[in-house]
Structure 1
Amino acid sequence: MMKDATLVALIGRPNVGKSTLFNRLSRRRDALVDPTPGVTRDRHYARVVWEDHPFILVDTGGIDDEDDTITNHIRHQAMLAIEEADIIFFLMDGREGLTPSDVEIVALLRRTEKNVFFIVNKIDSPEIEAGLLTPFWELGVEPLWALSADHGYGLNTLMAGVLPCLEQSEVKDHLPAETMRLAFLGRPNVGKSSMINAIIGQERMVVTDLAGTTRDAVDTLVTRDPYTYLLIDTAGIRRKGKTTDKLEKFSVLKALKALGRCDVALVLIDAEEGVTEQDTKVIGYTQDQGRALIILINKWDLIQNDRRRQEQVLEAVRSAVTFVPFAPVFKVSALTGLGIRRLFPEIGKVYRQFHRRFPTAVLNRLLAEAVERHQPPMYRGRRLKFYYTAQLGTAPPLFAVVANAPKGIHFSYQRYLTNYFRDGLGLDSVPVRLLFRERSGRKSKPATR
């Protein structure tokens, strides 16, 4: 079994409340949406956890922002959501009432087999619910979900209806045990498909110089005795404002879904073009979902005779990815095969660290040693105390640290403990997360990744 990344897309006319609902869901206390220091990225998606059920929430209004008629604009949103999303939230405006555009899109959505939730927003109380819902009954869809994204009315009821759909996201993948799932990500034309072809040694995929050839995630199973790898090719992630093909608008969603399926994300950077802001965004996506990460500087053969350019590219990459200092960096060429042989031993090392478990006794000794070497500061007149620690999970390694005042632990000390755990446990190549809790079990925010 594996847990697929359930994608929930918000669609609807402008000003019906998509962004308000997005913000309300993504800013929940248990939503993993805190930005990683050092990376700028758009906020049109978020990983949300509701009642221990994770999903990816996407505000399509932020992604598909075209100068177009409202009807065509929303039709494209709906078509893209039907193609890419697992669950669709279609929002309508209860204050404005039913519009011809709503009718047209509902007719389109009724033909899909996806889970669609028809939501009438801006209903603030039960007293006005019946009156505002009445015009929408003529759509002939049920149930209609009354909601106030602004005030939260109806949200718990809506999400209670969504949870069974999230539970259905667990699917069988029929892969051999211990298969290493590798997702190849990056901007269009950076060489993802070519890299996979170089790895498998045969032309199994369409490889051209036309950016955006790969529209869907393509899986290839490779066995290199005694290990098995699932190679996931993804559509390139274009920089906003540079895309004319509407299908490319959701390429980021394909990448996000692929990340939900992989253990290790391999992000390709073009050695000739150098690192770009979009490259750092792609890397940021991998850390939003807590994936192990390897950075591949592809097309190194194009600058192999230019030592100055090599140094410039390496320094630019180091500066751009300071927020993921653990990520291995490889100089490779899909065309010549440079660096590919050295890649697989590193993948194995990263995979093992990503899934490694540790005895609680070892963790507690490490915590005591860290506190002894660097005493925690005072907080509100008393010394911070750390009682014990335990591993909560793997992929990535996640540890709970129980303290007397988690809110008083300064970011710098959180970072110190995270790095001490990383060094002491030999987790030098993967993200490590510490979660600080009070004895009562209440959570605080995760430490640095």
Structure 2
Amino acid sequence: MSELEGQETGGRVPVLAVVGRPNVGKSTLVNRILGRREAVVQDVPGVTRDRVAYDALWNGRQFTVVDTGGWDPDARGMAERIAAQAEVAVSAADAVLFVVDANVGITDADSEVVKVLRRSGKPVVLAANKVDDERGELEAAALWNLGLGEPFPVSALHGRGSGDLLDIILDVLPEAPEEDIDADEGPHRVALVGKPNAGKSSLLNKLAGSERAVVDSVAGTTVDPVDELVELGDEIWRFIDTAGIRRRVKEASGHEYYASLRTASAIERAEVAVVVLDSSAPISEQDLRIIRQVEEAGRALVIAFNKWDLVDEERRYYLEREITRELVQVAWAPRINITALTGWHVDRVVRALNVALDGWYTRVPTGLLNSFLGRLVAEHPHPVRGGKQPKILFGTQAQVAPPTFVLFTSGKLEDQYLRFVERRLREDFGFEGSPIHIQQRVREKRKRR
């Protein structure tokens, strides 16, 4: 079940779909509506490719804004699929914001879009964008000829008329129910991350059971993170499909730079990240950097080796050696082999996600933890260094998600010994799929008076 369909059938927040030809300023207007820079914007047609949902608030009312790719009814190839995404957004929305460039006026493509909007039967608000002065307002008046009612002049770039436009939008959207649901009680959040063209969008589509994300053999098709509610194993999950992370943020330019920031943000707001690797190619430094980014963010981790149908015996031999050599630091992460395009073993994703989340939320009672630490120190005391032997006095688990332990010690423990403690924690209590953070607090010796 898609996010938009869920919201249409009894969801708690009404949905507004933003549509229009390429480069008329839809994403800029979306950012103006949201009051923050959320949608990726660049002065090049086609930057937005999927339909992307954002939470919006105006005058105390919540609604969801769905940004769509530029809609050209005569599109072919990838542009045709982008147009199809826009049609899906309209069909699932409660109302439509149709954005037209007032400076260009009515085009044949605009007229064709109007026909589709009329067939949808949804209320339509017509925004005449790029109106920066009174002369622009006169040009905007010509858009009455579209037959959609009054065109509302607005400058998405400068904010002119945006407040009035939002008031009109609220008038056509249905009222949202009063009750609010704590975000922490919602579906588990899963970020799909990896290099460009690793197969993240194909995996999302296979999990969702629909052509939800635009998939193309050209690397870097996804730019904005795409949220999708998917029902798997009798449970709803929120998947966030992200742009492929480039080598370094500073090497990216334009919309790629902002997309890489969105990807980092997606990891931050996820509970668990599925790092999708192309198993037919060697594990690269980019792959390892992404895995480290997830680990450093303290998120649960699943590693999915995609395109397994392209792995022969020779590649399997080398891949096993690469895993042993390169992934030793995250040996605790569940690994699954899948082929997203055909759906082979995709069902294993849910099992791995549950394992990782169980590890991420594992809590060890303080009494049990200190019994474990007592045995550990007795069997394997810290090495003597410089005539001193630091000891673990006691410990506590400060938090879960990720599991964080605080060890109170008589001296500073070496990093190697801390890694040993972590390894034994995993052996005794699990934590599969989750990083473990260990902090130490050295007891200060009291000065003799």
TM-score tier, shorter chain, comes to 0.5 to 0.7
Provide Cα deviations, 1:317-339, integer angstroms capped at 9, x if missing partner: 33222221111211111111122
Q: Any conservation in 2 of the 1:84–1:250 contact (CA below 8 Å)?
A: no
1:213 match: 221
Deviation at 1:173, TM superposition (A): 7.7
Quick one: distance in 1 between partners of 2:197 and 2:388? Answer: 56
Q: Any conservation in 2 of the 1:301–1:336 contact (CA below 8 Å)?
A: no
Q: Secondary structure at the match of 1:316?
A: helix
1:336 match: 342
Q: Secondary structure at the match of 1:269?
A: strand
2:419 to 415, 427, 439: 415
Quick one: distance in 2 between partners of 1:374 and 1:176? Answer: 40
2:402 to 363, 371, 396: 396
**What amino acid sits opposite 1:393 in the alignment?**
Q
Deviation at 1:223, TM superposition (A): 2.3
Q: Does the alignment pair 1:353 with 2:353? A: no
Deviation at 1:432, TM superposition (A): 1.1
Quick one: distance in 2 between partners of 1:410 and 1:302? Answer: 44
Quick one: distance in 1 between partners of 2:291 and 2:337? Answer: 17
Q: Secondary structure at the match of 1:193?
A: helix
1:181 to 170, 184, 189: 189
**What amino acid sits opposite 2:331 in the alignment?**
P
Q: Does the alignment pair 1:294 with 2:298? A: no
Quick one: distance in 1 between partners of 2:427 and 2:196? Answer: 36
2:263 to 239, 255, 259: 255
Quick one: distance in 1 between partners of 2:185 and 2:234? Answer: 12
Deviation at 1:383, TM superposition (A): 2.6
Aligned pairs for 1:1-400 (under 5 A) are 83=37, 175=183, 177=185, 179-240=187-248, 246-303=254-311, 306-400=312-406
Quick one: distance in 2 between partners of 1:435 and 1:241? Answer: 30
Q: Percentage identity across aligned positions? A: 33
**What amino acid sits opposite 1:384 in the alignment?**
P
TM-score (norm 2): 0.57
1:427 to 413, 423, 431: 431
Change (3 A) 1:186 1:400: same
Deviation at 1:175, TM superposition (A): 5.0
Quick one: distance in 2 between partners of 1:350 and 1:342? Answer: 12
Q: Any conservation in 2 of the 1:266–1:296 contact (CA below 8 Å)?
A: yes
Change (3 A) 1:349 1:178: farther
Provide Cα deviations, 1:202-222, integer angstroms capped at 9, x if missing partner: 111211112222111111112
**What amino acid sits opposite 1:426 in the alignment?**
G
TM-score (norm 1): 0.57
Q: Any conservation in 2 of the 1:197–1:205 contact (CA below 8 Å)?
A: yes
Name segments (4+ residues, structure 1) moved above 6 Å.
241-244
Quick one: distance in 1 between partners of 2:184 and 2:389? Answer: 50
**What amino acid sits opposite 2:419 in the alignment?**
R
Change (3 A) 1:213 1:356: same
Quick one: distance in 1 between partners of 2:296 and 2:306? Answer: 24
Quick one: distance in 2 between partners of 1:348 and 1:388? Answer: 31
Q: Secondary structure at the match of 1:251?
A: helix
Q: Provide structure 2 residue ranges, at least 5 long, that are not aligned to the other structure.
A: 1-35, 40-156, 160-179
RMSD between superposed Cα atoms in Å: 3.0
Q: Provide structure 1 residue ranges, at least 5 long, that are not aligned to the other structure.
A: 1-81, 86-109, 113-171, 442-449
Q: Secondary structure at the match of 2:439?
A: strand
Deviation at 1:244, TM superposition (A): 7.3
Q: Any conservation in 1 of the 2:250–2:257 contact (CA below 8 Å)?
A: no
Quick one: distance in 1 between partners of 2:297 and 2:248? Answer: 21
Change (3 A) 1:389 1:111: farther
Q: Any conservation in 2 of the 1:176–1:228 contact (CA below 8 Å)?
A: no
**What amino acid sits opposite 1:388 in the alignment?**
F
Provide Cα deviations, 1:24-57, integer angstroms capped at 9, x if missing partner: xxxxxxxxxxxxxxxxxxxxxxxxxxxxxxxxxx
How many residue pairs were aligned? 277
Q: Secondary structure at the match of 2:427?
A: helix
